[in-house]
Amino acid sequence: MSVVIENTPNPNALKFTVGMPVGGPKTYLPGQTDGNELAEGLVTIPGVVSCFMTADFVTISKLPDADWNLIAPAAENLLAEHFHS
């Protein structure tokens, strides 16, 4: 299964379903990733303020002025490499 990206009611958050357990529930912030390499990669994407992992998906939140057209492909690539390689 590939990564499926869905809108959420919050325009500053997207849901990335990966189709396998991601751990959690846990929210990661820049500088507070507890050694989780995937979370570290996601929250260091420019414009990302947090990622929430639970069940089979990750929700990424961004700054209001950040561009999903830059963030979403970078996050999708990280998630695909981590869960589907």
Cα–Cα dist 69/43, whole Å: 16
Secondary element (H or E) of residue 26: strand 26-28
Query: The whole model's pTM is what?
Result: 0.95
Residue 39 has which token pair? Answer: 């979370």
Hey, where are the domains in the chain? 4-80
DSSP classification of residue 82: H
Question: What are the φ/ψ torsions at residue 70 (nearest 5 degrees)?
Answer: -95, -40
pLDDT for residue 18:
97
Spatial contact of 4 and 24, defined as CB atoms under 8 Å apart: no
pLDDT for residue 85:
73
In CATH terms, the fold of domain 4-80 is Ribosomal Protein S8; Chain: A, domain 1 (3.30.1370)
- Tens of pLDDT along 8-59? 999 999 999 999 999 999 999 999 999 999 999 999 999 999 999 999 999 9
Instruction: Please name the residue that has the structure tokens 């414009």.
Output: 47
